[in-house]
Amino acid sequence: MHIDIWSDLVCPWCYVGKRRFERALDAFPNRDEVEVVHRAYLLYSSSPRGLTVDRRDMLMRKYRLTQEQADAMNSGMERTAAAEGLDYHLKGGVTGNTFDAHQVVFLGRDRGREDAVLERLYHAFFVEQRSIFEHESLVTLGAEAGLDADDVARALRENAYAKAVEADLEEARASQVNGVPFFLFDGRYAVSGAQPADVFTQALTQFERPGPFRAARTF
């Protein structure tokens, strides 16, 4: 089975969804027959690369919240993440365009380290409040995930994976992916959102029951 997962590295639900999906996948009897490919998605594609904005300010503008409401939303997200074993620290955090971070994930795929790179970037951003926007930080994080630092620096400097990122974004548009995380199982069964693990378990069983495209409920 082939599973495409569109996500953005600044999306808190995407990291939670990754954990829930992994729980279902770990318990799936045919785990060794499943190929997972992480695809790029940009929540802030209109923001300049390298520029960040305060996460609380973003929430206030996007959802028309007061400062107190935005803080409560962040606290609620931290509690949700904690239930998945993720120690989020969102207070004082920033967000922005992750185009370059996705390029590092693509490099990781080419080097057989895709999941390790993705995990390192998620953890750095949500748990450690480290930047995944500046090249210097991405080089360091890539190296910590097992990549060669010079390779990461070169890929970023030359925009080596820009076309690959853009191709993922175009495919997301063509597939009407309007939010993340978004999971597509064998091109036939879609799960939108950070669903509970049992929803992913149900989706995985479609591997053994061929049929037409279906869409799971949206989170």
In a domain, 206, yes or no: yes
Q: What is the pLDDT of residue 210?
A: 52
In a domain, 16, yes or no: yes
- pLDDT tens, residue by residue, 208-217: 555 444 444 4
Question: What total number of domains does the chain contain?
Answer: 1
- pLDDT tens, residue by residue, 107-132: 999 999 999 999 999 999 999 999 99
CB 23 within 8 A of CB 204: no
DSSP 51-65: -EEEHHHHHHHHHT-
The CATH number given to whatever domain includes residue 30 is 3.40.30.10
In a domain, 164, yes or no: no
In a domain, 167, yes or no: no
Q: Are strands 182-185 and 189-192 parallel, antiparallel or unpaired?
A: antiparallel
94 pLDDT band, cuts 50/70/90, is very high
Q: Are strands 214-215 and 35-40 parallel, antiparallel or unpaired?
A: unpaired
CB 18 within 8 A of CB 68: no
Q: What is the mean pLDDT of residues 174-181?
A: 92
- pLDDT tens, residue by residue, 43-87: 999 999 988 999 999 999 999 999 999 999 999 999 999 999 999
Residue 12's domain comprises: 1-41+177-219
* pTM of the complete model: 0.92
In a domain, 192, yes or no: yes
